[in-house]
Amino acid sequence: MAVLAIMGEIKAQISPYPPSPAVKFVTWDMTIKTQNGLGSDQWPMTWAEDNNLYAAWGDGWGWDKGEEPKRSIGITRITGSPPNFTGEDLWGAGPGQNFGKPDALVAIDKKLLMFWVNGDSRYDHDSYSAVSIDNGKTWELGKERLFPYAPAGFRVRGIVQYGKAYENAPDDYVYIYFGFNRHPDIYLARVKKESIFKSMDYEWFNYIKADGEASWTPDFTKKATVFHDNNAYLWHLSIVYNPGLKRYLMVKPHFTSEDNRDTILADVSSLGIFDAPNPWGPWTTVYYKDYFLDKLVKFNYIIPAKFLSYDGKSFWLGWSGWPEYDNINFIKGQFELFKEKP
């Protein structure tokens, strides 16, 4: 079995945070990689009550590329686990690529809830709501900006995933990350599950208190950065709670000094994995590498909660990009932990 071990890379790369106290290094099994959904990108995912993953994609056909015109946004149900999994395309809307794109989705109880951008993910496009009560077959799409008090382009980037149908959530809140395209700063808000599409009910992170808990404010203007990386990101974030490690994992791309951030995709292909004891931190670095696997464009990474092992050490990392990675890809990874103190 060919295994790529990454050791000590956080010292060689310019990571924004110190090394993880929990994860020593990451290995990748190069013999087990998958690729599906040819011609469709983005692919944020959530684990639903029926034990399936639901994935949102943009600008394509979904899991199975057909002869019909591509859709701007769509939903696929993924059954099983890699490498032995299948996808069923359930829904799509809008011709081509300019109707809308998915930003993040979450399964709570028996509903699928999605934030989507009305447009093609440009700087000034904003978050809108979408709800499905029939496991992704039909969707009610919101027609108004969800956060009218926020500046244009400040929108949802990722949602903490707490296992199947949010069953591992520690409280009644949904934790949602926000930001601008290609920006170094990321912000965090929380909202009660039943109020996820009520923007005035959101509370914004503004600092970590002495006891490690977060301070929250309803005043959007008093929000504070929850995560900063001068190397930024492009569009999406993936955040998942790993119950085996009792750590939160954030997965995101970043730019290198060679990337031109002003181009459409900026050739971003790098990977950062960070961990923390809480959704608000403090953050540390698990893995930070320029040009993950190769120099091909990768602009979205994800670790689905369903694809974490019981002990939290094994996982599957997904990614999407362009043009060679205009699809959904997975590779198997392993967290090697520091030994616990006796």
Q: Could you write out the DSSP letters of every residue in 80-101? A: EETTEEEEEEEEEEEETTTS-E
Handedness of CA 227, 228, 231, 234 (dihedral sign): positive
Task: State the amino acid at position 310 in one-letter form.
Answer: Y
pLDDT of 2 higher than 90: no
Average pLDDT, integer, range 301-307: 98
> For position 341, what pLDDT does the model report?
46
Q: Which of these ranges, 7-11, 231-235, 276-280, has the smallest mean pLDDT? A: 7-11
Do the beta carbons of residue 54 and residue 77 sit within 8 Å? yes
- pLDDT above 90 covers a percentage of the chain that reads 83
Q: Model confidence at 260, in pLDDT bands (50, 70, 90)?
A: confident
Per-residue pLDDT band for 67 (boundaries 50, 70, 90) equals confident
- Band (261; pLDDT cuts 50, 70, 90): confident
Flag whether pLDDT at 301 surpasses 70. yes
Alpha-carbon distance of 225 to 228, in angstroms, equals: 7
Q: Give pLDDT tens digits for 23-59.
A: 999 999 999 999 999 999 999 999 999 999 999 999 9
The answer to whether the CB of 269 falls within 8 A of the CB of 253 is yes
Q: Is the whole model's pTM more than 0.85, yes or no? A: yes
Answer whether 283's CB lies under 8 Å from 17's CB.
yes
Instruction: Please name the helix (run of DSSP H) or strand (run of DSSP E) that holds residue 209, with its range, or none.
Output: none
User: Using one digit for the tens of pLDDT, what is the confidence trace for 185-225?
Assistant: 999 999 999 999 999 999 999 999 999 999 999 999 999 99
Side-chain half-sphere of 195: how many Cα atoms within 13 Å? 13
Residue among 116, 140, 127, 113 nearest 58 (CA): 116
Question: Is the Cβ–Cβ distance between 142 and 126 less than 8 Å?
Answer: no
Amino acid at the residue 73 = I
> Is there a contact between 264 and 7 (Cβ–Cβ < 8 Å)?
no
Q: What pLDDT shows up at residue 265?
A: 66
- Of 48, 27, 235, nearest to 123 by C-alpha is 235
Instruction: Retrieve residue 4's tokens.
Output: 């790529």
Q: What digits encode the pLDDT tens for the residues 165-183?
A: 999 999 999 999 999 999 9
Give 199's contacts (C-beta < 8 A, 6+ positions apart).
146, 147, 148, 149
325: nearest Cα among 20, 36, 1, 30? 36
Residue 86 burial (CB count, 10 A): 12
Distance from C-alpha of 281 to C-alpha of 283, rounded to nearest angstrom: 5
**Edge-to-edge order in the sheet of strand 328-337:** 3-6, 23-36, 328-337, 314-322, 297-302
Q: Which residue type sits at 148?
A: P
pLDDT of amino acid 12 = 40
Task: Give the pLDDT band of residue 339 (cuts 50, 70, 90).
Answer: confident
pLDDT of residue 118: 84
pLDDT at position 325: 96
Segment 86-101, tens digit of pLDDT? 999 999 999 877 789 9
d(CA 116, CA 130): 7
Mean pLDDT of the chain: 92
Q: So what's the pLDDT on residue 178? A: 98
Distance, in Å, from the CA atom of 212 to the CA atom of 208, rounded to the nearest integer, reads: 6
